[in-house]
């Protein structure tokens, strides 16, 4: 039930080479191929969730 969510492939380049850098108490998802960065959060789970949300519902698409 508590399986950790995995980030979806990069919405910009489709790469699955993602990492979770941690800096100054924040963590975010970063694509190793195009260097797209997701929103910074205080926990990896939240960072992954925010990345996935943005990947599935990109900003600028008003729907």
Residues 4-43 that bind Zn ion (CB under 5 A): 10, 12-13, 15, 31, 33-34, 36
Hey, how many other C-beta atoms are within 10 angstroms of the C-beta on 33? 13
Minimal CA–CA distance to 12: which of 40, 47, 54, 50?
Answer: 54
CB-wise, 42 or 53, nearer to Zn ion? Answer: 53
Least distance in angstroms from the C-beta of 8 to Zn ion: 11
Q: How many of the chain's residues bind Zn ion (CB under 5 A)?
A: 8
**Distance between CA atoms of 27 and 49, rounded to whole angstroms?**
12
Residues that bind Zn ion (CB under 5 A): 10, 12-13, 15, 31, 33-34, 36
């Amino acid at each position: 039930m508590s399986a950790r969510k995995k980030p979806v492939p990069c919405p910009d380049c489709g790469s699955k080479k993602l990492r979770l850098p941690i800096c100054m108490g924040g963590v975010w998802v970063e694509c190793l191929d195009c260097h797209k960065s997701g929103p910074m959060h205080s926990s990896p789970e939240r960072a992954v969730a925010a990345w996935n949300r943005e990947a599935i519902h990109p900003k600028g698409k008003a729907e």
